[in-house]
Structure 1
Amino acid sequence: MGMRHGQTRDLLLIRGGTVVTGQASLRVDVLCGGVGEILAVGPDLDIPPSCTVVDAGGLLVMPGGVDPQTGIGADEAGFALTAAALSGGTTTILDTMHPDSGRLDGAWRDWQHAARHAHVDVGLHMALPDSSTAVLRQMDSLVTDQGINAFHLSMPEGLSDRDILKLTSHAANCGALCMIEAQNAQAVAYLRAELDHAGITGSEACLLSAPPQVEAEAVGRAIMLAGLSGGPVHVGPVSTIGATEVLAQARLRGQRVEGHVLAPHLVVDEAVHDPEGDAATDFCITLPPFRDGTHRRALWGGLASGTIGMVASGFRPAGAGGNGVVDGLAQRMRVVWLHGVRAGILTAEEFVAVTSQAAARAFNIYPRKGAIMPGADADIVLWDPDAQETCTSGLYAGITLGGRAVQVIRGGVTVWKDDMPCEGAGYGAYVPCPAFRPRLSERMRMAAHLSMRDDEI
């Protein structure tokens, strides 16, 4: 997979639409070309020779979506499914690889080989199995040589507080951050064993073994541990009022912390875990489980206030490692548009922020991704803001989604149009996530230490 898309592209001029970024909405034209970048943005651009003109009249022109968390791993068939992401306006995913053994370099090679089958551009978060000396050494190599600046730490998979302290501190030293999947592993395991003994399994057990308090406590502990080590931290997915409040409190103290929510947690009700219901339980076995409307309203409030910065699909193919849902690549942005923007909770600019720009910023690939400006990748979505559709199957069955990706451009080439992929669109490119500047890392560490000190006063 290349750094960009390699060969020179034909010129493409998008005109007549309203360009929406995370900052503003403007009636301007966008010229794409070169090796897949945006060449110019401005009102009434001249049409260059041999240029294809795209009429965006009546449509919104937005940066391609950036999905901050999928769990495809080294699964070629899973990456082949990413055409669904294009259909929903997402042009970049940040995937998580769970190594089968302690060898991170081998896991990187396996993932890179599988990711060649992706229809979107892809970056990587590497999951860490422990805090051994070998793992710490391999972290350095992945940051320096492979463009990985985020490491996934899973409390449910058994990482101890000591592991988290060592890993977050070491990540900060090499210019990376840690993403912590925060659930109280011992409490969940105990409750699951009790439920098994009572004959309660499957989707219902997912809900009952992870009550809201378990998540809130773990999110608070993850943020506290990262603060002790002085490292920046990203937590999620969050699904509860308590976790949202903990995030808000940490940010008010000045701690460098980001968080994300999965799109289904914004609209799917806990009733899907009812063993007497009609839902397909395969779609509902996930950690964290789905919650009631009180928690969902808090999540929307977290997005509107900036406490929760971004929305992920959490897509994970059946049988892949880690937690996630086996549906949702296509629906992520449409959930946020109808139930966020059309409901009056978010503005169109905030929609772009939570579905694209915030993730690009958090993982240091902005403005290459998540922006419409000269030099950015020409990943652009022409969006019909008035479209609506009610899903009839899968995780989102019975839920109405809004907006529609009329045309999707990846790297200056149209890859989705008229509700179907375009022939000859090819595959996506690997997106290296550069390490954070050493001075920035130092400032993050200082801010974290100060926030912890202030908390003690």
Structure 2
Amino acid sequence: MGIRHGHTRGLLLIRGGTVVTAQASFRVDVLCGDVGEILAVGPDLDIPSNGTVVDAGGLLVMPGGVDPQTGIGADEAGFARTVAALSGGTTTILDTMHPDGGRLDAAWRDWRHAARHAHVDVGLHMAMPDSGTVVMRHMDVLVAEHGVNAFHLSMADGLSDHDILELTSHAAACGALCMIEAQNAQAVAYLRAGLDHAGITGSEACLLSAPPAVEVEAVGRAIMLAGLSGGPVHVGPVSTTGATEVLAQTRLRGQRVEAHVLAPHLVVDEAVHDPEGDAVPDSCITLPPFRDGMHRRALWGGLASGNIGMVASGFRPAGGAGNGVADGLGQRMRVVWQHGVRAGILTAEEFVAATSQAAARAFNIYPRKGAIMPGADADIVLWDPDAQETCVSGLYAGITLGGRAVQVIRGGVTVWKDDMPCEGAGYGAYVPCPAFRPQLSERMRRAAHLSMRDGERHDRGP
């Protein structure tokens, strides 16, 4: 458990609610210990003599949300805004740091200093500028000494296929995986130059310079390259029907691939890019752009089928490095509840998987995160499943959100209650993401090669 600041703990007993995990739902109590862990889960637990009882009657008791992709970086003010994540039930974020041309060890120190201002627990994905010898050496140090087990590779920023092959292979060898932001940088740049020449800029240019085919090609190429190197791969954010089909086909061939979608891509329509419409918020200027209803339906289908495992906020402070949206930390889980669970697309258990457990598993912090079981971190959200409201401004303006985080517990301490942060709740902890077992690289290399041979036989026909 990382160091937390500004608060003390006592025993905490949550009674009367329905515990929902990714596996099942139970009417049981949860006892949280005084060092931030879950001590016991079961029916009619004894009330601790020196503890506090929380009445969860009529509420769902779920693991705190795990947001698999934010882009705050070394931005103290950005981390201060993570109080909004608590408001929506998220207690852990996995953030991406872009080195900005400097050394990875210096980038790590800058990020770690800024992340002390987070109101949630934080883990790190490090963006890779290239595949040089120094970068490779620093990858080893980040994995072995600093708890970084995922590296962000941006095809959107022009990272070459050669670099991707080198980096995915090296990451697998040292027990890490690569997250590939799959976009065809050359195609996007070509289209963008033509739009600039025609005087088309801003949000409209975001949409027109990244048509669906650009993403589909890049997702397929990213998965193919990871297969050649034999490494596990995570792609995203995905936003198109074609990308979900590529993911499904890859999984059917037996290649290991994970993917995520951004919450706004599930509900925000491409009409926000219309220059003739209402004023476009800055948060709509992003890559990938927002798509029409056909693509959104496919993304929900990807979540329901498990081919897309998790939902991220994609939050990035305005002006920060990389792609993302400058809003949405608090709305991520509410979007999925309203338009997934209440719409009948997902079950409550699948909601927990998509917003918490899948990310914890993918980045090797389960069952510390994403679980309600003895020994897990006492990160718990008491959720009102019937609450609804319509956003009146920002990225989600006019969109209905469902569910509400009535009380949020981080590390055994109540940090959000009655629609406001709790005084003296302090800051979150750093969450090291352990390396994957050493055997993973060779096993995945064999599986990837087998899947690619199966694909070749399929392409040739009987």
Displacement, 1:95? 0.1
For residues 40 and 47 of structure 1, the distance between their equivalents in structure 2, rounded to whole angstroms, comes to 12
Greater CA drift, 98-107 or 38-47: 98-107
Mapping 1:318-337, distance limit 5 Å: 318-337=318-337
Greater CA drift, 283-292 or 440-449: 440-449
Displacement, 1:156? 1.1
Q: Secondary structure at the match of 1:54?
A: strand
| 8 Å contact kept, 2:66–2:357 | yes
Provide runs of 4+ in structure 1 moved above 4 Å.
none
Q: Which residue of 2 aligns with 1:151?
A: 151
Residue 269, structure 1, aligned to residue 269, structure 2: yes
Q: Secondary structure at the match of 2:320?
A: coil
Q: Which residue of 2 aligns with 1:199?
A: 199
Q: Which residue of 1 aligns with 2:460?
A: none
Residue 3, structure 1, aligned to residue 2, structure 2: yes
For residues 263 and 210 of structure 2, the distance between their equivalents in structure 1, rounded to whole angstroms, comes to 19
Mapping 1:64-75, distance limit 5 Å: 64-75=64-75
User: Percent sequence identity over matched residues?
Assistant: 88
| 8 Å contact kept, 1:102–1:135 | no
Q: Which residue of 2 aligns with 1:317?
A: 317
Instruction: Please tell me the residue identity of whatever aligns with 2:75.
Output: D
For residues 172 and 78 of structure 1, the distance between their equivalents in structure 2, rounded to whole angstroms, comes to 31
| 8 Å contact kept, 1:136–1:170 | yes
Displacement, 1:8? 6.6
For residues 366 and 213 of structure 2, the distance between their equivalents in structure 1, rounded to whole angstroms, comes to 35
Instruction: Please tell me the residue identity of whatever aligns with 1:99.
Output: P
Give CA-to-partner distance per residue, 1:228-276, whole Å, 9 cap, x none. 0000000000000000000111110000100000000000000000011
Mapping 1:233-244, distance limit 5 Å: 233-244=233-244
Mapping 1:311-390, distance limit 5 Å: 311-390=311-390
Displacement, 1:361? 0.0
Give CA-to-partner distance per residue, 1:380-437, whole Å, 9 cap, x none. 0000000000000000000000000000000000000000000010000000000000
Q: Secondary structure at the match of 1:156?
A: helix
Q: Which residue of 1 aligns with 2:247?
A: 247
- TM, length-normalised to structure 1: 0.99
For residues 99 and 70 of structure 1, the distance between their equivalents in structure 2, rounded to whole angstroms, comes to 15
For residues 304 and 311 of structure 1, the distance between their equivalents in structure 2, rounded to whole angstroms, comes to 12
Greater CA drift, 6-15 or 177-186: 6-15
| 8 Å contact kept, 1:259–1:310 | yes
For residues 132 and 292 of structure 1, the distance between their equivalents in structure 2, rounded to whole angstroms, comes to 40
Q: Which residue of 2 aligns with 1:453?
A: 453
Mapping 1:411-450, distance limit 5 Å: 411-450=411-450
5+ residue gaps, structure 2, are 458-462
Displacement, 1:279? 3.6
Greater CA drift, 278-287 or 422-431: 278-287
Greater CA drift, 3-12 or 210-219: 3-12
Q: Which residue of 1 aligns with 2:232?
A: 232
Greater CA drift, 6-15 or 435-444: 6-15
| 8 Å contact kept, 1:102–1:129 | no
For residues 138 and 423 of structure 1, the distance between their equivalents in structure 2, rounded to whole angstroms, comes to 39
Displacement, 1:114? 0.2
| 8 Å contact kept, 1:8–1:33 | no
Displacement, 1:126? 0.1
Displacement, 1:371? 0.0
Instruction: Please tell me the residue identity of whatever aligns with 1:3.
Output: G
For residues 78 and 165 of structure 1, the distance between their equivalents in structure 2, rounded to whole angstroms, comes to 33
Q: Which residue of 2 aligns with 1:167?
A: 167
Q: Which residue of 2 aligns with 1:292?
A: 292
For residues 369 and 446 of structure 2, the distance between their equivalents in structure 1, rounded to whole angstroms, comes to 28
Displacement, 1:444? 1.9
For residues 34 and 254 of structure 1, the distance between their equivalents in structure 2, rounded to whole angstroms, comes to 44
For residues 271 and 259 of structure 1, the distance between their equivalents in structure 2, rounded to whole angstroms, comes to 25
For residues 161 and 354 of structure 1, the distance between their equivalents in structure 2, rounded to whole angstroms, comes to 30
Q: Which residue of 2 aligns with 1:62?
A: 62
Q: Secondary structure at the match of 2:156?
A: coil
Instruction: Please tell me the residue identity of whatever aligns with 2:149.
Output: N
For residues 57 and 198 of structure 2, the distance between their equivalents in structure 1, rounded to whole angstroms, comes to 60
Instruction: Please tell me the residue identity of whatever aligns with 1:248.
Output: A
For residues 31 and 392 of structure 1, the distance between their equivalents in structure 2, rounded to whole angstroms, comes to 38
Q: Which residue of 2 aligns with 1:136?
A: 136
- TM, length-normalised to structure 2: 0.98
For residues 227 and 135 of structure 2, the distance between their equivalents in structure 1, rounded to whole angstroms, comes to 22
For residues 228 and 441 of structure 1, the distance between their equivalents in structure 2, rounded to whole angstroms, comes to 12
| 8 Å contact kept, 1:65–1:333 | yes
Displacement, 1:102? 4.0
Mapping 1:56-95, distance limit 5 Å: 56-95=56-95
| 8 Å contact kept, 2:281–2:395 | no
For residues 133 and 441 of structure 1, the distance between their equivalents in structure 2, rounded to whole angstroms, comes to 20
Instruction: Please tell me the residue identity of whatever aligns with 2:374.
Output: P
| 8 Å contact kept, 1:260–1:308 | yes
For residues 434 and 87 of structure 2, the distance between their equivalents in structure 1, rounded to whole angstroms, comes to 28
For residues 125 and 23 of structure 2, the distance between their equivalents in structure 1, rounded to whole angstroms, comes to 27
Give CA-to-partner distance per residue, 1:328-383, whole Å, 9 cap, x none. 00000000000000000000000000000000000000000000000000000000
CA RMSD between the two structures:
1.0
For residues 200 and 281 of structure 1, the distance between their equivalents in structure 2, rounded to whole angstroms, comes to 17
| 8 Å contact kept, 1:267–1:296 | yes
Give CA-to-partner distance per residue, 1:273-306, whole Å, 9 cap, x none. 0011114331210000000000000000000000
For residues 427 and 114 of structure 1, the distance between their equivalents in structure 2, rounded to whole angstroms, comes to 12
| 8 Å contact kept, 2:83–2:120 | yes
Mapping 1:37-52, distance limit 5 Å: 37-52=37-52
Instruction: Please tell me the residue identity of whatever aligns with 1:363.
Output: F
Give CA-to-partner distance per residue, 1:122-163, whole Å, 9 cap, x none. 000000000001100100000000000000000011100000
For residues 325 and 34 of structure 1, the distance between their equivalents in structure 2, rounded to whole angstroms, comes to 37
Q: Which residue of 1 aligns with 2:97?
A: 97
Q: Which residue of 2 aligns with 1:123?
A: 123
| 8 Å contact kept, 2:29–2:45 | yes
Q: Secondary structure at the match of 1:376?
A: coil
